[in-house]
Chains A and B, each alone.
Chain A
């Protein structure tokens, strides 16, 4: 079974910078990390390829420095990685991202299963996985919390629903998005990480993947971010004074007002 995992780079901390021109996040080399739920997607792919004896590929779209995160994926046990990087991809919304990824995946050739994290820690739309499946014309299952069975032509999964969970079977090739808790992501081994640091990560441009640049990046994005702001954290502390009884009375009054 050949598995492809799509991963995204997200800021490692909450101290994000925003581009005032297009209101999107400024992604710099420093403080970047693999989107947390994508770590579960990587782990699932590693486990699947070990069980089925197949191979796994990690793919991401971003600035060239994202290669470092793809190296981390190889350090974890992914067999190979590919980066889509081109100025034409900049400022992509979820649709343009799904388009670019779909073209990249087509370029890689045959595959059986694509695994994505359910959502990203920054944008949190949860749209790229399903959009990617639609672009590729394959079925998908979202919010998978357990893979029950896989064969060469189908997969049976448990997916979280609003009322509990559902058991869903899907033909392959297909795409699943996974949720936190589906497995316990491993840490990289030193030997693998040392190999990964020397690994060649191919960088594919829009031309390399035969992408229509009108459908890529900011130009190909029908949605526009009107504004982005960092939530203000306001903590108002009011100190009660007086005797213990008086302070208790004040607290009761305040709590009553909230009820």
Chain B
């Protein structure tokens, strides 16, 4: 459906081979034991998958935006936990440093988080949810640096991150979107505590933890972007993360369709395959149609979203909402095709069904996406009547 370039087709093929060779073999064990894929993150670095969206001069592969999300998609198709870990490193850590970092910050951090063994994290969500106005972690200026106090929850890669981006509040005004500041925080600093690993329902290998900061001192040169203007960094980052989460959801949905077809292709009653049953056919047609729509949305959004403005924000919200909800529905239908077998963990669809649930929640819940889309649309409509 989407017209990929030859380079993008080559990347897709490479990622598929990589995922089958290095990711597939232990995926069930990692899921069962909630094991962080530490070994594979090293192999990801060796093969240039970490920070693949970063230019070569900083150690990345310099992939175009579509190829970069194809990477997350291809890995997530086999193991969305790893897709998630990669996504956070590439879009939640490396890309904001590339876009908003100083030359010194780029040179210090990007090579290590692309070709090196380090993994980056992104600490944003707090107890009240993922909302800019809800950022209560304080960053108080002191002696030429900042003192961080507060807690972040549901931080992916938390225990294995060498550094992470932390959103803190440096000023409290009536406009709660003002006063946010991004910090690049090295995790070996005094005053940082990583809490217990959450026992998650799906994507069980992501090492999601609470991270607490108590009088944690961060140097001034670790401020990313301008002080108090972190909202701009956040929106730019979130626009891209929503697309990469959508690419992850698409990967899970594609895997679910594949599993459903494998199951439906086996002779059932009277030696006929399951897919000949009209209700199964009906499910298959819906799944295929939705996946085609999802592909168009994800890859065209990846191609066009470069900066934050109302139009790109709307596009990323539309994509995240539609693709992730479709993916959830596709996994549900694929499991239904499996009948009772879908309820058994020996079948991959059982894992996919659990994994996909993260996608309509993480980054932005579907409900908040709907609310933002409605607000933006109504505002635009009232201003110029444009639909």
Chain A contacts to B: CB under 8 angstroms: 187-194, 197
Contact = CB atoms under 8 A, between A and B. Distances in A.
A190 B7 contact: no
Contacts of A188: 14, 47
17 contacts: A188-B14, A189-B46, A189-B61, A190-B14, A190-B47, A190-B48, A190-B49, A191-B48, A191-B52, A191-B60, A191-B62, A193-B11, A193-B61, A194-B56, A194-B63, A197-B6, A197-B7
B19 to A, nearest CB: 10
Query: Is the interface on chain B under 10, 10 to 19, 20 to 34, or 35 or more residues?
Result: 20 to 34
A201 to B, nearest CB: 15
A73 B62 CA distance: 20
A77 B46 CA distance: 12
A188 B47 CA distance: 7
A185 B56 CA distance: 24
B364 to A, nearest CB: 29
A197 B17 CA distance: 18
B48 A192 contact: yes
Most buried by B among A188, A192, A193: A193
A197 B10 contact: yes
Interface in B36-66: 46-49, 52, 56, 60-63
Contacts of B56: 191, 194
Nearest to B18: A187
Interface hub of A189, A190, A191, A194 (most chain B Cβ within 10 A): A190
Nearest to B11: A190
A239 to B, nearest CB: 12
Contacts of A191: 48, 52, 56, 60-62
Given A187-B47, A189-B46, A194 B14 contact: no
B21 interface: yes
A10 B150 CA distance: 61
Contacts of B46: 189
A194 B48 CA distance: 10
Contacts of A193: 10-11, 14, 61
A37 B61 CA distance: 28
Contacts of A197: 6-7, 10
A191 B47 CA distance: 8
Interface of B: 6-7, 10-11, 14, 17-18, 21-22, 46-49, 52, 56, 60-63, 71
Contact of A190 (B21, B22, B52): B52
A190 B17 contact: no
A191 B17 CA distance: 16
Nearest to B56: A191
B7 A194 contact: yes
A196 to B, nearest CB: 9
B189 to A, nearest CB: 31
B14 A187 contact: yes
B62 A187 contact: no
Given A187-B47, A188-B14, A189-B47, A194 B61 contact: yes
Q: Which of B14, B22, B63 has the most CB of A within 10 A?
A: B14
B162 to A, nearest CB: 21
Contact of A187 (B6, B17, B52): B17
A192 B52 CA distance: 11
B87 to A, nearest CB: 16
Contacts of A194: 7, 56, 61-63
Given A189-B48, A190-B11, A194-B7, 5 more contacts: A190-B47, A191-B62, A193-B14, A194-B61, A197-B6
A77 to B, nearest CB: 11
A187 B15 CA distance: 10
A193 B15 CA distance: 12
Contacts of B17: 187
A192 B18 CA distance: 14
Contacts of B47: 187-190
Nearest to A196: B10
Nearest to B22: A187
Contact of B21 (A187, A189, A192): A187
Contacts of A187: 14, 17-18, 21-22, 47
Nearest to B20: A187
A249 to B, nearest CB: 26
A194 B68 CA distance: 12
A191 B11 CA distance: 10
A189 B63 CA distance: 12
Contacts of B60: 191
A131 B62 CA distance: 43
Contacts of B18: 187
B113 to A, nearest CB: 14
Contacts of B62: 191, 194
B321 to A, nearest CB: 30
Nearest 9 Cβ contacts at the A-B interface = A190-B48, A190-B61, A191-B61, A191-B48, A189-B48, A189-B47, A190-B52, A187-B18, A194-B61
A74 to B, nearest CB: 12
A111 to B, nearest CB: 29
Contacts of A189: 46-48, 61
B116 to A, nearest CB: 14
A188 B46 CA distance: 10
Contacts of B71: 190
Nearest to A192: B48
A78 B62 CA distance: 20
Nearest to A71: B10
A187 B63 CA distance: 17
Nearest to B21: A187
In this complex, the member of B17, B46, B52, B61 whose beta carbon has the largest number of chain A beta carbons within 10 angstroms is B61
Question: Among A193, A194, A197, which residue has the most Cβ atoms of chain B within 10 A?
Answer: A194
A189 B10 CA distance: 12
B305 to A, nearest CB: 21
A191 B48 CA distance: 6
A188 B52 CA distance: 13
